[in-house]
Structure 1
């Protein structure tokens, strides 16, 4: 089962992170959390990973609507977007597919929230591929 939406960019990591932030903002998402996964793994396990960050993206109106339907859905919020370096000039951007959220809840009313979030994240990823 595919659980992410992704795109590969011909951009260096730092440029891809900046472009991802901008593309998400253009779709109404703010970044609530940021986890430097490579630094965390180095500090906790003394292992080296390629540069990568997990951005916790949230569009407050969608989050609020979802929580009104099912307060437990907050456990899977915000939407995680990972920006991961492949090499000096290539970066992958992946986001948890909001449509997968539908498999975690039996509330049909979440379908419109998931559809809207999926469309916005897909648009952000598509905008990234037009920029690189």
Structure 2
């Protein structure tokens, strides 16, 4: 089962890609609640060098509210993690497929939330590849 939605950007400027991802998510009503610089963390804690790898915790408050009303435990899957990472000469942008909420909870009431979130995330990813 695939659990991601991915866009491959033909950019070598990682910081510019991250800025573009932030704008594309904001245009779809997502704010960034958390940011984890995995590269910096692994370097600081383990002395491990790796490619650029950033996890953005994106949240669309109305959709999060709907999901939490359907199932309080769904907070375990929130916020929606969006990964921006270097992949050779490209940057990958990956988001957790919102349909995972439906699959994991087996709640039909989660389906409209997942459909709306998917449409918004897909629009953001599509904007990045235009």
Same-fold status (TM-score > 0.5): yes
Q: Deviations over 1:58-113 (max 9, x none)?
A: 000000011011000001100000000124x5211000000111111022100000
- 1:67 aligned onto 2:72: no
Alignment partner of 1:112 is 2:112: yes
Equivalent position of 1:98 in the other structure: 98
- TM-align CA RMSD: 0.9
- Shift >4 Å, 4+ stretches: none
Q: Distance in 2 between matches of 1:119 and 1:48?
A: 35
In 2: Cα distance, 1:33 partner to 1:66 partner:
19
Q: Does 1:80 align with 2:81?
A: yes
Q: Distance in 2 between matches of 1:51 and 1:60?
A: 28
**How many pairs align?**
129
Structure 2 distance, partners of 1:86, 1:14, is 14
- Unpaired stretches in structure 2, ≥5 consecutive residues: none
Structure 1 residues without counterparts, runs of 5 or longer: none
Shift of 1:36: 0.1
| 1:6-21 alignment runs, 5 A limit | 6-11=6-11, 12-21=13-22
